[in-house]
Every structure is written in structure tokens, then in C-alpha cells.
Structure 1
Amino acid sequence: MAGTGRRRRWSTDDILDAAVELLRTGDAESFSVRKLAATLGTDSSSLYRHFRSKTELLRAVADRQLEAAMDGYRPEGDWKQRITALAGRARDVFGRQPQLAAVWGRYGAGGAGSRLIAEELLQALRLSGLPDAEIPVRYHRIVVLLTALITSEAGMGGLTSEEYEQGMEHFRVAVLGADPERFPALAHFARDIRPLGVDRPAAFEDILADHLASIDAVIGVVGESVGEAAERSTNPAS
């Protein structure tokens, strides 16, 4: 029958769906366009008609994941609660995929999912009372902080049990075995210092909360300055 030997032509959405599934079920570090093509029963060249590089493909996958993470999202609470909720969604979607987290942190994504995250972050910051002139800088710092925290946490989550144990052993040697004459402070606090992977989830939440509190402090200072300026305008002799 004519045409039975022809390969199926995969759409961009088909390719992204397959890539998401491959990353979910396989080893993200070994993900490749060739492996994805084999999963689809085609060759790499057919995928490069849709994406010029592996990085471009992964950026599109990352954006697809962000879009899925925002599905059903409804803003609730004050501006800090909204930003914390967004951080949690991004963290959940990338938490088990260190390669995607690294791509998002390094390049951003740039599609609909990224725009949804950006829009909600900016809306939350506008609700905070920050002057418009301050918002772009604060937005950028929050995104940098989130990508760094999520990428770091995802990297830890991608370790095998053997790699984790090796890391713990290196930690014990480096910290508990420190020469007190050369490293007096390290030796003093050695038994209270915890490996980075142990309290990373709590550290994520604390660091984000501290950053949002620092924005709150700026809002307070701006509010006081505006109030003082208004008082001077009504009482010019004071």
C-alpha cells in the first residue's frame, strides 16, 4: 500500500510531550536529541527542523513545564504569599529535573510559561507598594534568587545514593578533620555545621522569606520618605 513505508511527521507539541516524558522517566543528565529521536522512531535531523539545538529544545521543554505548573493557579493572599506560592510551583516542577533547572537558570525559557510567571511576579510586586521604578530591579533579583536556589536543590536531588554518601564522607573529612590551629573557627563550629544537602528545603524557604522581608523593609523606608515629603509640603515652615 502506498505510503506505508513513510515515517510519521511529528509536530512540535508531539516532540515536547515526548521529551517531557523521557526526562521524567529517564536520567536527565544523559538526555540527548539522539535518544529522543530514537524514542519517537525517527532520526535527529527531523527534530532539528523544529529546534536548532539541544539547548533550544530544553528551553522549550522547561517552558512547557512552567506552563503546566501555572495551570489552575489562582493568586491568593498578600504579595509575599503570592510570590512564595509561585516559587513553590517552579520548585516542584524542576525539583526532580536538574538539567531543566540548570537550563532555566542559565538561559531562562522565554515562552508562554515564562511570561505567566513573570506577569504574576510583577503583579505581586505592584501590590507590595513598591514604586514602579523599583519593581524591575526587584523582579530581576527574585528571579536570579529562585533560579539559583532551584538549580542548586535540583542538583542535589539528582545525586545517586552512592554519590550522596561519598559527599557526606568528604564533608566529614573536610569539616570534622579540620586542623584547629589552621582553621580555628571551622574547628570550633564543626559539630554544629550541617552538610548542605541536609537542610536545603528549609534553607530555600528561609532565604526566600529573608529576601521578601528585605523588600518589605525598602517599602517601609519609601513610605516614610513619602510621608515626610507630604508633611513638608503642607508645613513648609517646619
Structure 2
Amino acid sequence: MSTYGDTDDTAPPGRLAAGRRRRRTRTGTVLSQELIVRTAIRLLSQHGHDALGVRRLGIALGADPSALYRYFRSTDDLILAVADELIGMSLKDVRITGEWRGDLRCVGLQLHRTYTAHPQAAVLAASRVTRRPNEMRGVETGLGILRDAGFGPDDAARYYHRFIDFTLGFAAIDAAAHTLPAEAEAADRGAWQATYTRLPADEYPRIAESAHALAQTMSTSAYPGALEVFLDGLQDALDRHGR
């Protein structure tokens, strides 16, 4: 992994930006952390992880590659900023109504939708802890929904952990599928119809009786349906404690 500078992961969010003067690129664009992150997400969709090389980013921004050193300490620092931007994009359209199930569903679906829309970035970002403002806002939002539903502080923390890992796990799986070469992705999707519907029933009786249902359901993400099962589990937990 290429580095832009010395890494200090203990620095609090926002410290690096303090006192940093915005600079214009050779094309006249004002260089900023926000512009670099948006450009990195765009390049990731085109070139994968190689997009985060300082030279490629500098060319795309019309800036001297050394200018990136002033904004990000390392490639990993930039990946964390990309991860936080994805969270911010996900939260943009979330509206908290006070109905916990609908609110948590909205957060989950927006996260999943954003990550699968930017699969190359999502594969890098889904497992990271950004320590940045959007992530903190997301954690506060998720805990707030669960506390308002009736869970105590400790239970809210545990259920939030399960919810976010559950959601990002599905997002990472679905995003990874979208990063495959088009031919491989099509072959994987088509296999449920082309291969599994033709297996001999005497050898694979359970597959044979469910083959057409498999071909239909396996071509789409399981997340929306699995999310409802998860929410049902939360409702059961609330009911058991009379909340």
C-alpha cells in the first residue's frame, strides 16, 4: 500500500484540517478533502483499489501528487475518509419519525443501497471504523432509535452492533458480487437457472423441488427479507421484556 505521509491514527477527527489552506489545482479547481474523497470514490468505481495511488489521484484532480500529503497522511487515511463519506451519503435521506421499526429499516436500506451503488469503495470500507463525524452521527442515530424503542443502554449497544454488522455484511457480499467482471457476475447469477434447475431429482431431491424458487430468489439481494427477520427478532426481544 502506498503512503502519503506518516500515519498517526490517534489524531482526533478534524485536527488535520485545522489551519489548512485550500489550494487551487492546475485546472483552477479548489483542492479540498471533500473533493479528493469524491474523486477517490469515482476512480474506485473505474479502476478498483489501484485508483488510490497518489499519481492517479493527482492526475484526476489536476494537482501535483505531493499536494495530497497536505490532506491525507496515508492511503489508509484516505480509505477511512471514503468510508465516512459513504456513511454520510447513506444518512442524507434518513428521516427519523419515532416509529422504531420503520426508522431502523430506513437506516439499513439506505446503507445497503449506498454501499452497493459504490461497490469498489464498499469492499474497502465496510469493515472499517472511521472515527469520523458521519460514523459518529450514524452510531448516535442507531442507538437513539433503539433507546426510543425501549431498550436500555447496554442492550441498545449490543443490538446496534448486531444490526450494523448484519447490514454491512450483506452490503459487502452484494458489493463484492458487483465488482466481479461482467462475464463472471452474469455466470454466477445465471447458474441458478442454467445449472441447478437441471440437477437430477433422484440425486438432489430438495434442490429439485425448490429449483425454480432458488433461481428466482438467488438473483436478487437477500438483505431486505433478512432485515425483516432481524426486526422481528428485535420486536420479540421487546415483547419478552414487556417494553
Q: Could you say which residue in structure 1 is the equivalent of 2:170?
A: 149
Q: Report the alpha carbon displacement of residue 113 of structure 1 after superposing the two structures with TM.
A: 1.0
Q: Could you say which residue in structure 1 is the equivalent of 2:12?
A: none
CA contact (8 A) 2:109 2:224 kept: no
Kindly indicate whether residue 22 of structure 2 is the aligned counterpart of residue 22 of structure 1. Answer: no
Change (3 A) 1:168 1:13: closer
User: Which of 97, 106, 109 is 2:127 aligned to?
Assistant: 106
Q: Report the alpha carbon displacement of residue 58 of structure 1 after superposing the two structures with TM.
A: 2.0
Question: In the alignment, residue 31 of structure 1 is paired with which amino acid?
Answer: A
User: Which of 174, 193, 204 is 2:223 aligned to?
Assistant: 204
User: Which of 78, 89, 99 is 1:57 aligned to?
Assistant: 78
Kindly indicate whether residue 147 of structure 2 is the aligned counterpart of residue 122 of structure 1. Answer: no
CA contact (8 A) 1:28 1:97 kept: no
Q: Could you say which residue in structure 2 is the equivalent of 1:80?
A: 101
Change (3 A) 1:183 1:43: farther
Q: Could you say which residue in structure 2 is the equivalent of 1:229?
A: none
Give structure 2 stretches of 5+ with no counterpart: 1-23
Matches within 5 A, 1:158-173: 158-159=179-180, 161-172=182-193
Normalising by structure 1, what TM-score?
A: 0.76
> CA separation in 2, counterparts of 1:19 and 1:223?
48
CA contact (8 A) 1:156 1:197 kept: no
Question: In the alignment, residue 32 of structure 1 is paired with which amino acid?
Answer: L
Q: Report the alpha carbon displacement of residue 221 of structure 1 after superposing the two structures with TM.
A: 0.8
Question: In the alignment, residue 230 of structure 2 is paired with which amino acid?
Answer: H
Q: Could you say which residue in structure 1 is the equivalent of 2:52?
A: 32
Q: Report the alpha carbon displacement of residue 7 of structure 1 after superposing the two structures with TM.
A: 7.2
Q: Could you say which residue in structure 2 is the equivalent of 1:234?
A: none
Question: In the alignment, residue 204 of structure 2 is paired with which amino acid?
Answer: F
Question: In the alignment, residue 139 of structure 1 is paired with which amino acid?
Answer: Y
- Secondary structure at the residue paired with 2:126? helix
Larger radius of gyration: 1
Q: Report the alpha carbon displacement of residue 76 of structure 1 after superposing the two structures with TM.
A: 1.2
Pairs aligned (count): 216
Change (3 A) 1:68 1:189: closer
Q: Could you say which residue in structure 2 is the equivalent of 1:136?
A: 157
Normalising by structure 2, what TM-score?
A: 0.74
| Cα deviations by residue, 1:1-49 (Å, 9 ceiling, x for unpaired) | xxxxx9769443332233244346x344552323212212345554345
Give structure 1 stretches of 5+ with no counterpart: 1-5, 225-238
Poorly superposed stretches of 4+, deviation over 6 Å: 6-9
> CA separation in 2, counterparts of 1:131 and 1:12?
38
Q: Could you say which residue in structure 2 is the equivalent of 1:236?
A: none
Q: Report the alpha carbon displacement of residue 80 of structure 1 after superposing the two structures with TM.
A: 1.0
Greater alpha carbon shift after TM alignment, 110-119 vs 33-42: 33-42
> CA separation in 2, counterparts of 1:196 and 1:144?
23
Change (3 A) 1:168 1:121: closer
> CA separation in 1, counterparts of 2:169 and 2:161?
12
